[in-house]
Amino acid sequence: MNQLDDPTTWVVDSHDMLGQLDGLLTRFDSALSQARALELPFPADAVDDVVIAGMGSSADVGAMIVGAFWERLRKPVHVVRGYGLPGWVGERSLVIGATYSGGAASSAPCMLTSSSRPRRFSSTICAS
């Protein structure tokens, strides 16, 4: 028997991470369906690069997107795990602030930096 199948070891998993993994594919499928249904208010060729800004697990979502679609990405996608944006982010960059908790503290500084620069697009998503 695998040690993970033993109920006495489940005490160690106080955040139910094993249970979270169990439904991961369903959540990925749902997110992919929602993304495909999304209509962008601008043409995709108006964007040169994409920045996904977040902290902790919010940034992990961006890293998963890059990892899952690496070979199919047509534009550079960068994950920023900090409070500021790189200097190269400009008016043809799409900046996405991601926050799992819905609190703006993790992505707000990047979005504020983005709004102070010349830009065409800025978007904020709250993922839950």
58 burial via Cβ count (<10 Å: 0-12, 13-18, 19+): buried
Give the number of other Cβ atoms within 10 Å of residue 38's Cβ: 7
pTM to 2 decimals? 0.66
- How confident is the model at residue 77, as a pLDDT? 93
| CATH 3.40.50.10490 placement within the chain | 44-128
What is the average per-residue pLDDT within 107-111?
60
More confident residue, 32 or 124: 32
Tokens encoding 117: 């620069």
Q: From the options 3.40.190.10, 3.40.50.10490, 3.40.50.300, 2.40.160.10, give the CATH code of 44-128.
A: 3.40.50.10490
| Residue-wise pLDDT tens digits, 45-60 | 888 999 888 877 778 8
Is residue 7 pLDDT above 60, yes or no?
A: yes
